[in-house]
Amino acid sequence: MAEITTLHYLVVAAALFVLGVIGVLTRRNVVIVLMSIELILNAVNLNLVAFSRMWGNLHGQVFSVFIVVDAAAEAAVGLGILIAFFRNKETINVDEIDLLKW
Amino acid sequence: MQSHILSIILFTPLVGAFVLLFVPKENKDAIRWIANIFALGGFLISIPLVPMFWAQRFDATQQFKFMEGSANNWIPSIGAGYVLGIDGISFLLIMLTTLLGWVSILSSWTAIESRVKEYYVWFLVLQTGMLGVFMALDFFLFFVFWEAMLVPMYLLIGIWGGPNKLYAAIKFFLYTLLGSVMMLLGILFLYFHHHAVTGIYTFSIPELYKTAPQIPFHAAIWLFLAFFLGFAIKVPMFPFHTWLPDAHVEAPTAGSVILAGVLLKMGTYGFVRFSLPFFPQVLSSTATFLNVTTRGWMIGISLVGIIYGALVSLMQKDMKKLVAYSSVSHLGFCTLGIFALNPAGLSGSVLQQINHGISTGALFLIVGILYERRHTREIAEYGGISNVMPVYATITMIMFLSSMGLPLLNGFVGEFTILQGTFTESWKWAAWAAPGVVLAAAYLLWLYQRVFFGTVTNPKNEKLHDLTLREILTFVPLIIAAFWIGLYPKPFFQILEQPVNQIVLTVRPGYPIPGYPNATPAVNAQAAPVTTPAQIPATAVTAPTAPVAKPAHAAAAAKPKGSF
Amino acid sequence: MFLDHIWLIPLFPAFGAAMMFFFGRRMQKAAVSTVCVGVVVVAFVFACVTVVEYTHFAHGTGQPFEKIVYTWLGSGDAHLSFLKRDGTPAQFNADFGFLLDPLSVIWLLFVTGVGMLIHIYSIGYMAHEGGYYRFFGYLNLFMFSMLTLVLANNYVLLFVGWEGVGLCSYLLIGFYFHRKSANDAANKAFIVNRIGDAGFILGAFTLAWYLGSFRFLDINAAARSGHYLIGDTVLTAAALLLFVGACGKSAQIPLYVWLPDAMEGPTPVSALIHAATMVTAGVYMVARSNAIFVLAPTAMKTVAIIGALTAIFAASIGLVQNDIKRVLAYSTVSQLGYMFLALGVGAFAAGVFHVFTHAFFKALLFLGSGSVIHAVSGEQDMRNMGDLRGRIPTTFKTMFIATLAIAGIPPLAGFFSKDEILWQAWRSADGGFPYLWLIGFGTALMTAFYMARLIFLTFYGQPRMSQEVEHHIHESPKSMTGPLVVLAVCSALAGFLGVPHSLGGSNGFEKFLAPVFERGTEAAIAATEEPHHPAGEEHRKLEWLLMVLSVGAAVVGGGWAYRHYALAGKDYPEPIAVKAPPLYTVLYNKWFVDEAYDYAFTGRRKLGDIRLGAMGAGEASSWFDAKIIDGTVNGAGWSTRAVATLSTWWDKWIIDGVGVNGPAILARMISYPTRLLEWGLVQWYALVMVAGLLGFAVYYVWK
Amino acid sequence: MLGLSSVEYRLMLPMVELGIFALGILMIDLMIPREWKWMNAVGAFVGVLFSALCVFQIQTLFPRGAIGFSYSLLVDRFAIYFWYLFLAGAGIAILMSVRYLDVENEHHGEYYALLLLSVIGMMCMAAGIDIVLIFIGLELMAISTYVLVGFLRRDRRSNEAALKYLLLGAFSSGIFAYGLSLFYGLSGSTNLRSIAQAVSTRNPHDPVVIIAMLTTMVGLLFKIAAIPFHQWAPDAYEGAPTCITGFMSVAVKAAAWAMLLRILVFGLFPLRAVYTPVIVFVSIATMTGANFAALTQTNTKRLLAYSSIAHVGYMLLAFVAMGTSAPNSPAFIDGFKGILVYLLVYTFMNLGAFAVITSLRNRNVIGDELDDIAGLYSRAPVEAVLMLLFLLSLAGIPPAAGFLGKYYIFLSLIESQHYWLAGAAVLYALFGLYYYLKIANAMFMREAMEAERLPISLGMRAALGVTALATLVIGVYPEPFIRSVNWSLGIAQTPHVAAMLK
C-alpha cells in the first residue's frame, strides 16, 4: 500500500476548496453558505498543515491555528449579523437579500 | 531685476473676491460697488504696465519681459515654478482682459439681481484665472490657471444662465476639459522628453523651448494634434465649435462678453505661444494626410470656419446666437493669420484677436442691453428700435461697422493685415477668405435693418428707454479703443514686432525679415522652410539677409516726406 | 503752405460730421446748415488755393506732389514684412499720405465744387424733412470719404475712402429708414459694393505681392520700369480684380443692380453720390491704375466691352421707365458705361473728361428732377406730370440745357466728351469692324430719345397731375434754383476745356492729364498729340463724319421722342409698347435681372421650395450645424432617421460620432445595462468573482 | 516580561495603545449615560492622537525603519506613511460620526472601539512582511468593518449590506488564504522575502505559481474593489452608515493598497510579468465599468461608491506603469509615487465629500439621494462650496489636490509609453467630471427641497475644515507632501532640481 504523499493532501484540499466554492455559489440558505466558507478555510488549513509537514517547519501550523480562530470569529459575527437581518426581514434565504442593487 | 507688477495685476481681482466674502450678501449695493472698484482697480493697476512695456518693446535680448520667479521655485520635486513673464502678445491680451473685465463687471450692475455676491466673487476669480493663463511661463502653472478658470465660467453659465443653462454649462465644461486634458498629456510628454534629453525635470517653458527641436518627428505630429485639440476647442475652430453657441446663448451678458472677448483668445494664444514654437517641424513638414500638409489642414479648417460661421449666422433668429456664430467666423480669420506663418499674418492675427475682443464684446453688451429691457433675443420681436433708442442705435451701428471691418475702425486693420499676410503665402487662401468679409456685412446689416430700421411694430418696444449713463460708460472705452486701433495701429504693431518675428524665425528659419537679427536660439535645425508659392530660394536661407533687405530699406529711406 | 496742409481738405467735412454726431441733435437747423455747408465751402476754397499752389509747384510738368502725414498700417520702419512673389522681402506699409497730381486735381475740384452746390441746394430741399442734422452729417461724412479716396497716395487709404463712400451711400439711401424699400435698397447697395470691394482688395494684394508696395508712385514706377512685359499674367489678374471693384462702385454689369434702387434716397443724395461723384470712383481708380492696365490688354478689352454693354443695356431700360429718377439713374449707369468704354480703349483722358462734364449735367438733371418733384409735391411718376415749363421756368430752362448737353448737341459739354469717346472707340478697333463704336452710337441714339422723352413728358403736353397737386405747383426757393443755374452754366461751357484738335481746339484737358497717363517711355507731350497715329488729314475727315453722325443720331432720337410725347395727354401710348409689346415688358422689367439675382445669389426668392444663394447656404449650414455636428436629439431615433434619410456622407459624421451629444446619449444608454450587472444577489456577485478568477486562469492556459 | 525587545515594544506601541483605548471605551461606555455618549468619540479621538504620537516617536527613533517579531513586522517609512494615513482617516471619521449616530440613535461605544480595532488591523496589513501577520491584520480589519457596516441594526439596508459584505468578504479571504497557503507550500516560509526568493527561482509559468498568484490576487483585488471583484462595494457603501462609508472608502481602501503593494511589489515583484496582464485588464475594466455605472446614478452614496471604484482603476493604471517598467526607472518611481500621492489626496477629498453627505442626514431625511442635496447652496453655502471643491478635486481639476494624483498617473503612463491607456484615462476623466458635475448642478442650480438651514455639528465643522484645508493646500503647495512621499519611498529629494537651480 502506497504511502500518502503531500500531493494527496493537496488534492483533497483542492477538492474541499472547490466544494466550498460550489456551496457558496449554489446553496440558498445563508447558514449553509457560511458553512461552505468554513469548508474553504478548512481546505486552506489542510494545505498549510500538509506543507508544514512537507517542509518540516511549524509556520504552516501556526498559520492554520490563526485561520481556525479567524474562521470562528467570522462565523460568530456572521451569525450575529444574520440574526439582526432576520429580525427585520423574516428570512435567511440568500435570494431575498436584494434590497440593494444597481 | 524683479518687478512684481505682474503678480499685483494678477491677484488684484482675487483680493477683491476675498474681500467680498466678508460682505453680508444682503447688502447688494456695497457688493456691487466693491466689485466694480476692484475691477476698475485691476484695470488701472495694469495701466502703468503700458509705459514700462513700451520702453522695452524692441528689446530682443530677452524674449519675455518682467519675468518673476525662477524655474522650479514652486514645486521643486516635480519641477514646477511660479514663473510669470510677458511679451508683446501676452501684454496686449492682458490689457484686453483687464479692460473687458472691468467693462463686463460694470455692465452687470442691474443685469444680475439674484445671488449677487457669489456672482461677483466668481467673476473676479475668473478674471484672475484668465490673467494667469496669459502670464504663466511654466506649463504647470499655465495648466492650473487654464483649468481653474473653467470652474467659475461653468458656474456663471450654470447659475445665472438662461433656460437651458445646465446643458450648456456641462457641455462647455466637458468640451473644454476634453481638449485641455489631451493638452496635459502633450505637456507631460514635453516634460518627460526634456528630462530624457537633459536629465532635468522642469515645466519651465523657456527651458522646454530649448529641447523641443530634438523631439522626433513622428512624436511631434501627435503632440501637435494633442495641443491642437486643446486649443482648437477653445478657439473654437470649425468642427469643434458647437459648444460656443449654447454657452453664449445661455450665459449672462457679462459672461458672454468675457467668453467671447478673452476665453476664446486663449486658444489662439496657445497656438501662438506653444503650437508654433514647439512643433515647427510639423508645420513645415511636407508630410501629408489626404494629400494635405498639416499646415494646409489648419488653413483649410480656418477657411471653412470663416465662411461656415458667416453663413450660419446669416440665418440665425436669435441675436446672441448670431453674434456667437459670427465669432466663429472672426476667429477663423485669427487662426488663418496664425498659420500664414509670416510677420504680417501673425501680427494681424494677434491684433485681430484684440479687435474681436473689443467689437464682439461690445456686440454682446448691445444684445444684453435689449435683453435686459425686453427679456427676449428673438430678432422678430424687434424693429424700429432706432426710433425709441437713437443713442443706442448709433453706438450699435459703430460697433457693427467695426465688427464688419470698415476702414478707420479696428476690425479692418486686423483683417486687412491677416489677408495681406495670407495672400503672400497663397493667393487662393486669401481669395477663399474674402467672401467672409462680404457675408459679415450681409448678416450684420441685415440684423441691423431688422432690429433698428422701420417703424416700431411691436407695442412692447414703444416704451423702451434709451441708454443710461452707466451703460454708455461701458461702451466708451470700447469705442475709443476701436477708433484708436483703426486710426493709429502703429504702436500695436511695434509692440508685436519683436515676439512675432521671433516666432516666425523659429518656425521658418531664414525667413528674411529686413533689419531683424536672423539668428535665434530656438531655431530648429532640421526644419525645412515652409513650402509656399513664394518659396524662399535656398540661398536666402543660408545667406545673411542683409543684402536681401537692402532694396526694401532703400525704398523706405527714399520715401519722400515732403515733395517728390 | 496750403499744399503741405493738403490733408486738411478732407478734415474740414470730417469736422462737420463730428459736430453733427456729437451736438447735432441739440442744434438749430440754421446752425446745422451753417456748419455743414460752411465746412464744405471752406474745403472748396482751400482746394482751389491748393490747386493754384500746385500748378506753381508743378508748372506744367504735372509731377505729382505727395504728403505723408503718418504711417497708418505697418509700424513705420517696422518689420511687418512679407515675401514678394520673387521671394524677396518687402515692407508692409500703408501711410496716411496724400497725393496731388492732375488726375486728383480734377476730381478734387469737381467733388468739392459740385459737392458745395449740392449742399447749398439741400438746405432748401431738406428744409421740411426730419433728421436734418443727420442728413447733413452723413453728407459731410461722405465728402470726407470722397476726398480721402481722391487724395489717397496708396491703395489702402484709397480703400478707406472707397468703403467710406459706400457706407455713406448706405446711410443716405436708408435715410428714410421707416420705408422698408429704402432699407432694402441700402443693404443691397452696401453688400453689392462689398463684393466689389473684395475684388478690389484682392487686386491691391496682388499688386503689393507682385510689385511690393501699395503706393501709387512705387507701383507706377515699377510698372513703367519696363521689367514687366505687356500681357503679364499677374498684372492682368490684378487689373481684372481691381476692375471688379470698379464694377461694384461704378455700377457696371453685373454689379450695377444697386444703383437704380439707390434712388430711394433723397434727391440731393442721388445727385451728389449716385450721379456726380461716388459712382465715378471706379473710373478714378482705373484711371489711377492706368500704368497697370496698359500692361494688361486682356483687362483693357474686358473693361471696354463691359463698359459698352452696360452703356447700351442701361440705356435700353431707360427708354421705358416712368419714374423720373429711375430714368436718370439708368442714364447714369449708361453714361458710366461710356466712361469705361473710353478707359477700355485706352483713352483715359477722354474717359476722365466725360466724368468731368457728366458730373455737371447729371447733377443738374438730378437736382432739376428734385426741383420738379418738389414742385409736384413728391410725385415721381412722369405719367402724372406734364406741361410744367411755364410753371417752374428756371428748372425747365436749366434741365433743358442739361438734356441737350447729355444728348450731345454741340457745343454743349456732353458733345465734346462723348464724341471724343466715340472717336477713340472707332479708332481703337484696329482694322476690324468697329463694333464698340456702333454700340456707343446706338447708345447715343437711345440717350437722346429717353432724355427727350423725359423732358417732354415732364414739361410739355397736357398736365396729368391731380387738381390739388396742380394747385400747389411752385418754383423752388433760390437756394435750390441757384445751384441749378450755376450747374447749367458749367454744363454749357465745360466742354470747351477739351475741344479736340480736329475742331481746331488744343484739347487742354487731355494735355493737362497727359503726365498721369504717360506710357512711361514716350514723352508726355507726344501723348497729347494723337497717341497712336499722326493726325492725318483723312483721320480728321473721318472724325468729322462720326461727329455729324452722332449729332444726327441725337437729333433723330430727340425728334422721335418729340413725335410721341410732345403732346402727350392722359394715358398717352408708349410707342415701344405699341410696336413690340414683349420687348416692352422685358425692358420695363429691367430684363428681369433683379429677379434672377434673387433666385440665384441672394436666395431671397425661393425656386419652388428650394432656396438657393447665400441664404440658402445659410439655412443649409445652420441645419447642418444643429442636426449633424451637434449630434442632437436622442441617439436612437436619430441614427435610424439618419440612416433612413441622410446621405452616406452625413452618415460618416454620425458613425464617426462627430456628433457631440450622440456619444453622450450612447454612454447613458450603456450605463443602464452596466448597472444591471449589479442585480443585488450575493451569489451572483460571488459567481462573477469566480468567473473572473477562472477567466484569468484560462488566459494563462492559452498563453 | 514578554521577552519583547525594547524595539519591538516601541513598534507595537501604536497598536497596543489603540487596543487599550478600544477596550477602555467598551468598558466606560457601560457606565456613562445616554447624553454623555459623545465622550466615547472624544476618547477614541484622543486614542488616535496618542497612537499618532507613538508613530511619530517611531519615526524619529528609527528613521531607517525597524523590524521585529521574528521578521514579521517591518515598520519602515512606507508603513509609517500609511499608518499616518489610517490614523488621519480614522480621526476624521470619528469627528464625522458624533452627530450622525445621535440622529440614528445608535450611540454605542462599540462603534468607536471597532473603528480603532480595524485601524490596528490596517496597521498590521501595512507593516506586515509575513503573510500570517498580514492575513491576521486583514481579518481583524475586515471583521470590525463587517460589524460597522451593519451597525444600524434597525435599518434593513444596513443589515443587508453587512451580510453581503460579510459573505463575500469571508469568501474572498478564503480564496486569498488558499493562495497564501500555496505560496507557503512553494517556499516553505511565510516571510514575503523568502517567498519572493523561492518563487523567483521557479519557472513563472509553473501552474502552481500561477494558481497561487491568481488566488492571492483575488483577495487583493477584492479588498481594493476592482472589477470584477468589486460588486460588494456599491452595496456595502450604500447600506453602511455614511460616516463608515467614508471611512471604508479611504482607510480600508488605503490598507488594501498597502497590502497589495507589500505583497505584489515588495514581495512578488519577480512575478510582475505574470500579474501585470491581469492588472491591465482589471484596470481598464474597472474604469469602464465603474464610470459607466456611475453615469446615471441618482443615489449620491452609490455614485461616490462607483466613483471610488473608478479611482481604483486609475491607481491600477499607475500600477501597470510600474509593472511594465524596470525597478527604479522614472516610470516605476512616478507610478509608485502616484499611487501613494493618490491615496493621500483621496483620503481627504473623499472623506470630505462623504462628510458633506453625512451632514445631510436628519431626523426625517436619509440624505443620500441626489434630491436631498439639491439646492444645498441655499441651505448651507459653505458646505456647498466645500463640496464643490471636493468634487472638482475628485474630477482632477487643478488647483484642487486631485489633480496631483492624476498628474502622476498620466506622467507614469507616458513615461512607460502606454499612450493608449493614457488616452483611455483621459476619456474616463471626462465621464468622471460629468457625474460629479451632476452633483454640483444639484447643489448650485436647483431649488432646495426644504428651506431650513442645515445644522452642522462642531465635529463636522472640524472634519470639513481639515479635509477642505488639506485638499486645497495639497493642491496649491504640494511640495512638502511630495517630499514626504519621496521620503516614504526612500527616494533622494528631487536630485535633478539641484542641477536645475544651480
Cβ burial of C199 (10 Å; 0-12, 13-18, 19+) is buried
Q: What is the pLDDT of residue B518?
A: 53
CA distance A26 to chain C (A): 7
Judging contacts by C-beta atoms under 8 Å, the chain D residues touching residue C700 are 205, 210, 214, 274
The 10s digit of each residue's pLDDT in D355-372 is: 999 888 877 777 788 888
Chain C neighbors of D431, CB-CB under 8 A: 667
Model confidence band, residue C76 (pLDDT cutoffs 50, 70, 90): low
In our burial notation (b when 16+ CB lie closer than 10 A, e otherwise), range B370-405 reads bbebbeebebebbbbbbbbbbebbebbbbbbbbbbb
| Partner-chain contact D210 C686, CB within 8 Å | no
Q: Quickly count: other Cβ atoms within 10 Å of residue A27's Cβ.
A: 16
Please give, rounded to a whole number of angstroms, the shortest distance from the CA of C66 to a CA of chain B.
6
**Residue B266: per-residue pLDDT:** 92
Global pTM?
0.87
| Contact: B170, D437; criterion CB under 8 Å | yes
Closest of D148, D45, D5, D105 to residue D458, by C-alpha: D45
B249-274 pLDDT, tens per residue? 889 999 999 999 999 999 999 999 99
Helix (H, G, I), strand (E, B) or coil at D146: helix
Whether C682 has its CB under 8 Å from any CB of chain A: the answer is: yes
Helix B88-107 × helix B5-21 angle, to 10°: 20
Nearest by CB: D239 against A62, A66, A100: A100
Total beta-carbon pairs less than 8 A apart between chain B and chain D: 111
Q: Give which of C669, C679, C693 to mutate to test D binding, by max D Cβ within 10 Å.
A: C693
Is C680's Cβ below 8 Å from some Cβ in D? yes
Residues in chain C: 703
pLDDT exceeds 70 at position C165: yes
Give the D window 228-247 contacts with C, CB below 8 Å: 228-229, 231-232, 234-235
Q: Which long-range contacts (CB under 8 A, 24 or more apart) does B325-329 make?
A: B325/B244, B325/B245, B326/B360, B326/B363, B326/B403, B326/B440, B326/B443, B326/B444, B327/B244, B327/B260, B327/B264, B327/B356, B327/B360, B328/B236, B328/B238, B328/B241, B328/B244, B329/B305, B329/B436, B329/B439, B329/B440
Distance CA B169, CA D445 (A): 11
Which one of D370, D446, D500, D502 makes the best mutation probe of the B interface by having the most chain B beta carbons within 10 Å? D500
Question: Is residue B231 very low, low, confident or very high in pLDDT (cuts 50, 70, 90)?
Answer: very high
Residues of C in contact with B237 (CB under 8 A): none
Of D168, D172, D218, the CB nearest to C682: D168
* Residue scoring higher pLDDT (B531 or D79): D79
> What pLDDT does residue D500 have?
37
Q: How crowded is residue C383: how many other Cβ atoms within 10 Å of its Cβ?
A: 16
Tell me if chain B has a CB within 8 Å of the CB of D483: yes
- Quickly count: other Cβ atoms within 10 Å of residue D159's Cβ: 27
Residue found under cell 466668481: B122
D487 close contact with B: CB closer than 8 A: no
D214-273: pLDDT as tens digits = 999 999 999 999 988 988 999 999 999 999 999 999 999 999 999 999 999 888 888 888
- Find, in chain C, the residue whose alpha carbon is nearest to that of D276: C696
pLDDT band at C701 (very low <50, low <70, confident <90, very high): confident
Residue D64 has φ and ψ, to the nearest 5°, of: -90, 5
Q: What are the C-alpha distances in Å from D46 to residues B123, D32, D49, D275, D351?
A: 43, 17, 5, 42, 20
Q: Is D150 close to A81, i.e. CB distance below 8 A?
A: yes
Q: Which residues of D340-361 are buried (b: 16+ CB within 10 A; e: fewer)?
A: bbbbbbbbbbbbbbbbbbbbbb
Please give the share of chain D, as a percent, with pLDDT higher than 70.
97
Hey, are the CB atoms on B512 and C618 less than 8 Å from each other?
no
CB contact under 8 A, A85 and D146: no
Q: Is C625 on the interface with A (CB under 8 A)?
A: no
How many interface pairs between A and D have CB atoms less than 8 angstroms apart? 128
Which residues in chain C have their CB less than 8 angstroms from residue B551's CB?
Answer: 88
Q: Which of C72-86, C120-134, C476-490 is predicted least confidently?
A: C72-86
CA-CA-CA-CA dihedral for C458, C463, C467, C468, to nearest 10: 30
Q: Which DSSP category does B239 fall into?
A: G
- Cis ω on the peptide bond leading into residue D398 (within 30° of 0)? no
Query: Alpha-carbon Rg of chain A, whole angstroms?
Result: 17
Residues of A in contact with C676 (CB under 8 A): 102
C-alpha cell read off for C491: 454744363
CA dihedral B10→B14→B16→B22, nearest 10 degrees, is -160
Highest mean pLDDT: which range of C99-108, C302-311, D56-65, D118-127: D118-127
Nearest to D159 among A62, A66, A88 (CB): A88
Average confidence (pLDDT) over B131-149: 92
Is C687's Cβ below 8 Å from some Cβ in D? no
Model confidence at C520, pLDDT cuts 50, 70, 90, reads very low
Query: Over the stretch C47-75, which tens digit does the pLDDT of each residue have?
Result: 999 998 888 887 777 788 888 888 888 76
Question: How far is the C-alpha of C60 from the C-alpha of B151, rounded, in Å?
Answer: 73
Mutate to test the interface with C, among B438, B501, B530 (most CBs of C within 10 A): B438
Q: Do C683 and A94 touch (CB under 8 A)?
A: yes
Fold for the domain defined by A6-95: Helix Hairpins (1.10.287)
Interface test with A, best of D69, D110, D134, D184 (most A CBs within 10 A): D184
Give the pLDDT confidence score for residue D467 in this predicted structure. Answer: 94
- How many angstroms separate the CA atoms of C417 and C412, rounded? 9
Q: What is the pLDDT of residues C627-636, one digit of tens each?
A: 666 654 334 3
Chains in contact with chain C (at least 3 beta-carbon pairs closer than 8 A): A, B, D
The answer to whether C681 faces chain A, any CB pair under 8 Å, is yes
Query: Chain C neighbours among D 189-218 (CB < 8 Å)?
Result: 205, 210-211, 214-215, 217-218
Q: Mutation test of the interface with chain D: which of B18, B73, B78, B208, choosing the one with the most D Cβ atoms within 10 A? A: B78
Determine the Cα–Cα distance for residues C413 and B54; give it in Å rounded to an integer: 59
Whether the per-residue pLDDT at D20 is higher than 80: the answer is yes
Chain A CB contacts of C686 under 8 Å are: 24-25
Q: Is A24 touching C (CB cutoff 8 A)?
A: yes
Instruction: Say how far residue B166 (Cα) sits from the centre of its chain.
Output: 26
Q: C88 at the B interface (CB within 8 A)? A: yes
C-alpha cell at C208: 503689393
Q: How do residues B299-317 score in pLDDT, each as one tens digit?
A: 999 998 898 888 888 878 8
Residue window 462-491, chain D: list those with CB within 8 Å of chain C.
Answer: none
Whether the predicted pLDDT of C433 surpasses 60: no
Contacts of residue C483, defined as CB under 8 A and 6 or more positions apart, other chains included, come to C117, C118, C120, C121, C367
What single letter denotes the amino acid at residue C332? T
Residue A43 has pLDDT above 60, yes or no: yes
Q: Which residues of C touch D277 (CB under 8 A)?
A: 699, 703
A·C CB contacts under 8 A? 30
Q: How far is Cα C590 from Cα C601, in angstroms, rounded to an integer?
A: 17
The predicted structure's pLDDT at residue D350: 94
Least confident of C59-68, C439-448, D277-286: C59-68
Q: Rounded to whole angstroms, how far apart are CA atoms B296 and B306? A: 15
Domain positions in chain A are: 6-95
Closest CA to B255 of B112, B388, B437, B373: B112
What are the chain B neighbours of D500 within 8 Å (beta carbons)? Answer: 71-72, 76, 79, 200-202
The yes-or-no verdict on residue C193 having pLDDT over 70 is yes
Q: pLDDT tens digits for C274-298?
A: 888 888 999 999 999 888 888 888 8
Q: Is D317 on the interface with C (CB under 8 A)?
A: no
Give the minimum alpha-carbon distance from B154 to chain D in angstroms, rounded to a whole number.
10
Cell 478734415 sits at which residue? C11
Q: Chains near B, with 3+ CB pairs < 8 A?
A: C, D
Cβ distance C614 to B439 less than 8 Å, yes or no, reads yes
Cα B317 from Cα D258, distance rounded (Å)? 60
